[in-house]
Structure 1
Amino acid sequence: SSFSSLIVSKLFTVSLCAKCDPGWRYSPHSRKCYKFFSKSVTWTEAEFHCLIQKGHHISVHSSKENKFVKEIARGASEVWIGSAKFGSMSNYEWSDKTSFNFKGWKNGKIPVTKLIQPCTKMNVTNGEWFQSCCRKVAPYICQKDSQQANQIYKHFLRHKFKKQINTGIL
């Protein structure tokens, strides 16, 4: 009926307005959702928890995002970010595999690699990044795609699938 179509339409509109899950913050700069976790854990434990949340450690791609991280983590002295050296890689990479196009290293220089310190923390006071042993503990921030992006994709798939059934393709 047209009434049920109206309700479905309104529910879809409402879900588009809620860009992030409760407790997560939306950033218009990256169009992603972020959540600060104050519990201090190792880098690997933090990444695992972020994966369970359908995300990754935060990756930082601009000075605006770096400032946003400082804002979210206010109250902590340092926080894990997603930059690390994986396996035998000689360069730092983001855990979400996005490009490493912005660097916020202390003194503006990538530090000389210390094999026991292949993970990265941010000093929340000044926003500078520094190497840290991955087994040390710190609070962390997870990042994931916004619900808006996910809902639009799901809506597209649902209607595409329905059209294929109605036209006899499936």
Structure 2
Amino acid sequence: MAMLRSLLLLFIVFSMGNAEVNLVKKCPYGWTNLGVRCYKFFSQMVTWITAEKNCQSLDANLASVHSKIENDFLLSLLPSSSTRCWFGAHDGEVEAQWLWTDGTPFDYTHWAPGQPDNKGEPRTESCGELNYESKNNKKI
């Protein structure tokens, strides 16, 4: 059975129809912003696919990471050093071809040493996990 992890949710809010670029976005109550995106950590023990579906029900996606600043920011949202959570990386379409669930370019990684290693049963490490050691891991 798939391992369960806490859910880190990314709620993307883009300014549409405005010629000016907003560098900071006001987020709904309980959410934290970084630039034009709003983030919220949900402590729910669910599978990666359930976490993504929960995000989509809120017109959002699991978090995508595009820089060290964003990676460090996401880590700051984790409630403790033992917390591990899902984020939006997956290679579910083509093995070892990583994508973000929000469709943005996969342009940054901070894999843990030796990751992704795809150990375990076939197709069992196709989703991204973030942990407090500032590393991304390929798990499910």
Q: Same fold by TM (over 0.5)?
A: yes
Aligned residue in 2 for 1:122: 130
Larger Rg: 1
Instruction: From the two aligned structures, give the one with the greater helix fraction.
Output: 1
2:100 paired residue among 87, 91, 94: 94
1:38 paired residue among 39, 43, 46: 43
**Structure 2: 5+ residue stretches without partners:** 1-21
CA distance in 1, matches of 2:41, 2:79: 9
**Structure 1: 5+ residue stretches without partners:** 1-15, 134-170
Shift in Å, 1:90 = 3.5
CA distance in 1, matches of 2:96, 2:84: 24
1:62 paired residue among 48, 58, 67: 67
Structure 1 counterpart of 2:110, one-letter code: G
TM-score computed with the length of structure 2 as normaliser: 0.73
1:19 paired residue among 21, 26, 43: 26
Aligned residue in 2 for 1:105: 111
Structure 2 counterpart of 1:32, one-letter code: R
Structure 2 counterpart of 1:40, one-letter code: M
Contact 2:125 2:139 (C-alpha < 8 Å) held by counterparts: yes
**1:148-167 paired onto structure 2 within 5 Å:** none
The structure showing larger relative contact order (alpha-carbon pairs under 8 Å, at least 6 residues apart) is: 1
How big is the alpha-carbon RMSD for the aligned residues of Structure 1 and Structure 2?
2.0
> Identity over the aligned pairs, expressed in percent?
30
TM-score computed with the length of structure 1 as normaliser: 0.61
CA distance in 2, matches of 1:60, 1:18: 18
Moved over 6 A (4+): none
CA shift in 2, pair 1:60/1:18, >3 Å = closer
Instruction: From the two aligned structures, give the one with the greater strand fraction.
Output: 2
Shift in Å, 1:68 = 0.4
> Does 32-41 or 114-123 show the bigger shift?
114-123
